[in-house]
Amino acid sequence: MGFIDFTDQVVLVTGASSGIGAAAAVGFAEAGATVALHYHQNAEGAQHTLNAVSTAGGSGSVHQADLASPSSAALIDEVLARHGRIDVLVNNAGDLVKRSPVTDVPDDEFHRIMDVNLTSVFALSRRIVPVFRAQGGGVIVNVTSIAGRHGGGGGSVVYATSKGAVSTFTRGLAKELAPEGIRVNAISPGVISTPFHDRHTGADQLAAMRSTIPMGRTGTPHECVGTILYLASDRMSSYVTGQIIEVNGGQLMP
C-alpha cells in the first residue's frame, strides 16, 4: 500500500479516453481506486483506458455522455447506480473546439466552447455536492489551463476565457464548501503533448510555444498525474483547497 491510497474509493474522471484524463485514470487505478471513465465520442480510446486500468490492477467502468448537453449531470447518477458512491470527481473533459479570431467565432461555437469547458464543470459539481454531503465529504479536482492566466495562444480567446472561469469557479466553490469538509482544487497544465494539440496546434505554433518554456520541452500527460492524485488525496492535501497548481515546465510562474 502506497502513501497515496485510494482503496475502496470511486473516482469519476471525465474525458478519460485520451490525454491527461486517461493518464489520471490509470494513476488512480494504480493507487487502488475503482475508476469510472467518461468519454464523449472516442469509445475506442475509453476502452483502451479501461484495459490500462485493468492492467494496473484496478477496476473500472465506461460511461458515455455529451457534457455540453443540459442533461450532462445524469452522468453522476449513472456512476452512482453502477458503483454506489463517488469519492473524487475529476473534471478533466474540455476542448478548444476550433482556433479562430474572436471576430470569426459564431454564437453557436462560442456557446459550445463555454458549455464543454465551463458549464459541464458547473453542472457536474452542482450534482455531486449533495452526494458528497450525504457521504460526509469528497473532493473535486478541476483541470483548467495556463491559457486561463495568459489569455491563450493564437485563436483561443474563448477557450482561455472558459478556463479562466473554471479557475474562478474552483476558488469560489472551495470557499463555499470548505466548512462541510469538501475540498475543491485545480491543476493548470501548460503545453502538454496530447491529442488536443494534435487537433488544434500546427507545428510552427507548437514550436513557438515550446520556445517560451524554460525546460525547453512540452510536458506529458503522465507529468500531470502526480499533482491530480496529490490534490485528490485527503492524506496528502487535507488542508489544501481553492488552489490552482501550475504544471507547465516554468512557462508561467505566477
Q: What is the pLDDT of residues 158-184, one digit of tens each?
A: 999 999 999 999 999 999 999 999 999
| Mean pLDDT in residue range 54-69 | 95
182: CATH = 3.40.50.720
Does some domain include residue 54? yes
State mean pLDDT over 24-49. 97
Domain count, the chain: 1
- Does residue 101 sit within a domain? yes
Residue 200: per-residue pLDDT? 57
- Which residue range(s) make up the domain with 46? 10-246
Task: Indicate the pLDDT class of residue 154, thresholds 50, 70 and 90.
Answer: confident
In this prediction, residue 78 carries a pLDDT of: 98
SS (H, E, C) 113-148: HHHHHHHHHHHHHHHHHHHHHHHCCEEEEEECCCHH
Sign of CA dihedral 73, 76, 82, 84: negative
Residue 227: inside a domain: yes
0.85 cut: is pTM over it? yes
d(CA 43, CA 53): 15
Q: What whole-number distance in Å separates Cα of residue 162 and Cα of residue 109?
A: 13
Evaluate whether residue 252 is within a structural domain: no
Q: Name the residue among 83, 74, 88 with its Cα closest to residue 140.
A: 88
| Residue 2 predicted with pLDDT over 70 | no
Active centre residues (catalytic): 159
Domain assignment present for residue 3? The answer is no
In a domain, 241, yes or no: yes
Give the residue carrying C-alpha cell 458503483. Answer: 83
Q: How far apart are CA 241 and CA 141, in angstroms?
A: 10
Greater model confidence, 79 or 152: 79
Confidence of residue 96 (pLDDT cuts 50, 70, 90): confident
- Asked whether residue 253 is domain-assigned, the answer is no
